[in-house]
């Protein structure tokens, strides 16, 4: 009876050679090789996590820097506004003084202006009014144009309507109290009478 044994293939020969080589290798060394390959996979995962953390930290730094710049810009604007409009309350109070000076000058009759007894008084009041206007100009306080202008609700306050054939409806024909701006802000609206079509 012939035992037909299969011929060994080249792969079987290689496997046998590897097994023969590994017979003398301690098991600990074989386990270390397996751990090294698993460590490489863990290292790559750790690196990927670190890269993700680094990107997140970069984004947070950029957001914090942008927020800091926004806060700095807001503070600079607030400081500039505080400087520009610091005198608003005082200027609003002083307007009544300017109004009274204007009323005093308008109330002086022409004959008293020529009278030597009152001429110095009138000149003094007019000089005081000019000085007030000069100080207003130095602080950016300007008078709002009114008479002859179209009504602007942002600068004028209509107190009454006056029938008129000579003016377009909505045109200011009378100024009862002067209005003022401080730089680009309204300090006090001008109180005015506005033309309307006669009935």
Could you read off the pLDDT tens digit of each residue along the chain, which spans 199 residues?
445 555 555 555 555 554 545 455 455 554 455 555 556 777 888 888 888 888 899 999 999 999 999 999 999 888 887 777 777 888 888 888 889 988 888 888 888 778 788 888 888 888 999 999 999 888 889 999 889 899 999 999 999 998 988 888 889 999 999 999 988 889 999 999 999 888 7
Residue 10 structure tokens? 């080249």
CATH code of residue 171: 2.30.22.10
Contact 195, 173 (CB under 8 A): yes
Distance CA 197, CA 171 (A): 11
- Compute how many other C-beta atoms are within 10 angstroms of the C-beta atom of residue 181: 16
111 and 80 in a common domain: no
Closest CA to 126 of 98, 105, 97, 99: 105
pTM of the model: 0.58
The answer to whether residues 54 and 94 belong to one domain is no
CA atoms lying within 13 Å on the CB side of residue 11: 0
């Amino acid at each position: 009876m012939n035992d037909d044994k299969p011929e060994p293939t080249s792969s079987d020969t290689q496997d046998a050679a590897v097994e023969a080589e590994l017979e003398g290798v301690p098991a600990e060394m074989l386990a270390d090789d397996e751990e090294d390959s698993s460590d490489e996979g863990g290292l790559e995962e750790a690196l990927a996590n670190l890269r993700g953390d680094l990107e997140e930290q970069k984004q947070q730094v950029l957001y914090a820097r942008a927020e800091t710049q926004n806060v700095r810009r807001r503070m600079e604007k607030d400081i500039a506004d505080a400087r520009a409009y610091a005198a608003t309350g005082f200027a609003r109070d002083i307007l009544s003084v300017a109004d009274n000076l204007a009323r005093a000058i308008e109330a002086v009759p022409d004959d008293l202006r020529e009278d030597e007894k009152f001429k110095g008084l009138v000149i003094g009041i007019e000089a005081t009014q000019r000085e007030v206007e000069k100080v207003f100009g130095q602080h950016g306080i300007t008078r709002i144009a009114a008479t002859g202008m179209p009504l602007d609700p942002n600068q004028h306050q209509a107190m009454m309507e006056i029938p008129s054939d000579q003016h377009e409806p909505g045109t200011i024909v009378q100024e009862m109290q002067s209005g003022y701006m401080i730089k680009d802000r309204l300090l006090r609206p001008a109180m005015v009478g506005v033309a309307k079509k006669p009935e």
